[in-house]
Amino acid sequence: MIEALHEILSADRVATDDDALQNWGRDWTRNFPVAPSAVVFPERIEEVQALVRLANREGLALVPSGGRTGLSGAAVASNGEVVVSFDRMNRILDFNPADRLVRCQPGVVTANLQAFAEEQGLYYPVDFASAGSSQIGGNISTNAGGIKVIRYGMTRAWVAGLKVVTGTGELIDCNRGLMKNATGYDLRHLMIGAEGTLGLIVEAEMRLAEAPQPQRVMVLGVEQFPDILKVLERFQRHISLSAFEFFSDLALEKVRAHRDLRAPLATPSRFYALVEFDESALDLATEAFEATVEAGWVADAVLSQSEAQARDLWQLREGISESISGYTPYKNDLSVKVAALPGFLQEVDALVSESYPDYEVCWYGHIGDGNLHLNILRPAEMSVAAFHEFGHDISPGIFELVQRYDGSISAEHGVGLVKRDFLSYSRSDAEIALMRGIKAVFDPNNILNPGKILA
């Protein structure tokens, strides 16, 4: 198989040493075996097509790999697969100012696209903590969300065109960056969020947004969980927010232990809401804040007085994931409609506190999008394997609740391996059968990331 790979790629672009296999054979998950047979680094679309044709001929499985910041195991290779890394397809190809489109290769790091957009006086509005290492191809394959979704939507909203190599080695050019194109099924949207199981993204045309106005950040202390939603409603009544996040006192404690950051308020609070809005809405935000104090939902708040302070306040939220990663937390990334949040939060809080009283549970997330990150922290004395088995056993309880609220068991982190066995809590049998049919059409020999999303 290695010789066959060398017929396609020069030797320096085929790695089989253990360091490479361990490094490129996984994403951020730590509870799956990492055992690819090789890692390859294509530089051109034709090489990706040749790899897919080879995989079909030899019955090889290919696992696409980008920034490896995924949280669902979608980029893990545990069964001798060949990892296709897009690290060397990392160029911004061109910029079209009239359509505000950037044509880029899949290996472009998200932060580099954000910086490129700023250089053009524009803005790439999908942002999250791992943007410094995640890649555009992976962001598209998982339809990455992050902290600005409430105003700008998910990655899906910014993909204008996609070149994809399908499971048979066909190169398809989806939508070609057109704003309008009413010519049948939009295959671009099948590829977005498909986690590399329907095709390998080899080029993307990303739309850019107008540069945002100067922003202000407010962090408010909230004592009662359900009051967070009343605060959301009061702010949203007159303001188009650019972010509405929340985190618990435990999350704050972990971030401050991990990073040298001051507490946001003089008096500690059980929960914190982080609100971001255009500076021009400051009076309305101040009014909303006063109303939340009068209503007794909020005791205190801090308003950013500088960019630096705004960044520090954001760190309290964006630093959570990295600060708790040492606990290899059992992550839940749940979503329900915003209208369903009050009842859902009440019930999931009761369920979590009665089911696992002796575990530390970190609550945080993009509550303005109805998205809750509920992370159960691994006790020091418990092994990762035992802890993830525990997580797997308690999930049905949480997912039954999500199902009852017509929610999603994976709001933004994807399915991969981690949520695969629970898919039916959020997708019907009919839908799963249709998804299998689509998989068979695009990847008839099941060589593209087999076992991810669909067992």
Shortest Å, Cβ 108 to ligand S2G: 20
Q: How many CB atoms lie within 10 A of CB 129?
A: 18
Q: Which is nearer to ligand S2G, 50 or 232 (CB)?
A: 232
Shortest Å, Cβ 129 to ligand S2G: 5
What residues numbered 346-375 form the site for ligand S2G, per CB under 6 A?
A: 373
What angle in degrees, to the nearest 10, is found between the helix axes of 282-294 and 227-236? 150
Indicate the DSSP class of residue 378: P
Which position has the token pair 């009068």?
A: 294
Residue 17, SS3? coil
Shortest Å, Cβ 391 to ligand S2G: 14
Q: Which is nearer to ligand S2G, 174 or 320 (CB)?
A: 320
Based on the number of CB atoms within 10 Å of its own CB, is 406 exposed (0-12), middle (13-18) or buried (19 or more)? exposed
447: left (phi over 0), alpha (psi -120 to 50) or beta: alpha
Shortest Å, Cβ 80 to ligand S2G: 29
Q: Which is nearer to ligand S2G, 27 or 443 (CB)?
A: 27
Q: Which is nearer to ligand S2G, 26 or 188 (CB)?
A: 26
Shortest Å, Cβ 320 to ligand S2G: 6
Shortest Å, Cβ 86 to ligand S2G: 21
Residue 110, SS3? helix
Residue nearest to ligand S2G (CB): 321
What residues numbered 132-161 form the site for ligand S2G, per CB under 6 A?
A: none
Of 175, 321, 323, 328, which lies in the binding site for ligand S2G, with binding defined by CB under 6 A? 321
Of 60, 77, 102, 129, which lies in the binding site for ligand S2G, with binding defined by CB under 6 A? 129
| Residue 49 binding ligand S2G, by CB under 6 A | no
| Residue 52 binding ligand S2G, by CB under 6 A | no
Q: The tokens of 84 are what? A: 């296709």
Position 364: which residue type? Y
Written as one string, the DSSP assignment of 309-357 is HHHHHHHHHHTHHHHHGGG--EEEEEE--GGGHHHHHHHHHHHHHHH-T
# binding residues, ligand S2G (CB under 6 A): 6
Based on the number of CB atoms within 10 Å of its own CB, is 307 exposed (0-12), middle (13-18) or buried (19 or more)? exposed
HEC profile of 48-107? HHHHHHHHHHHCCCEEEECCCCCCCCCCCCCCCCEEEECCCCCCEEEEECCCCEEEECCC
Q: Residue 21, Cα to own-chain centre: how many angstroms?
A: 24
Residue 435, SS3? helix
Of 163, 216, 254, 331, which lies in the binding site for ligand S2G, with binding defined by CB under 6 A? 331
Q: Which is nearer to ligand S2G, 143 or 175 (CB)?
A: 143
| Residue 378 binding ligand S2G, by CB under 6 A | no
Q: Which is nearer to ligand S2G, 30 or 238 (CB)?
A: 30
Q: Which is nearer to ligand S2G, 177 or 319 (CB)?
A: 319
Q: Which is nearer to ligand S2G, 50 or 243 (CB)?
A: 243
Shortest Å, Cβ 233 to ligand S2G: 22
How far apart, in whole angstroms, are the C-alpha atoms of residue 288 and residue 277?
Answer: 12
Backbone angles phi, psi at 123, to 5 degrees: -155, 130
Shortest Å, Cβ 393 to ligand S2G: 21
Backbone angles phi, psi at 362, to 5 degrees: -95, 120
**Please, are residues 91 and 44 in contact by the beta-carbon 8 Å criterion?**
no
Shortest Å, Cβ 310 to ligand S2G: 18
CA distances from 181 to 17, 188, 321, 344 (A): 46, 12, 39, 39
Q: How many CB atoms lie within 10 A of CB 186?
A: 13
Q: Which is nearer to ligand S2G, 359 or 442 (CB)?
A: 359
What residues numbered 183-222 form the site for ligand S2G, per CB under 6 A?
A: none
Binding mask 73-112 for ligand S2G (x = CB under 6 A): ----------------------------------------
What angle in degrees, to the nearest 10, is found between the helix axes of 341-355 and 227-236? 150
Binding mask 218-247 for ligand S2G (x = CB under 6 A): ------------------------------
| Residue 71 binding ligand S2G, by CB under 6 A | yes
Name the residues that contact ligand S2G, by CB under 6 A. 71, 129, 320-321, 331, 373
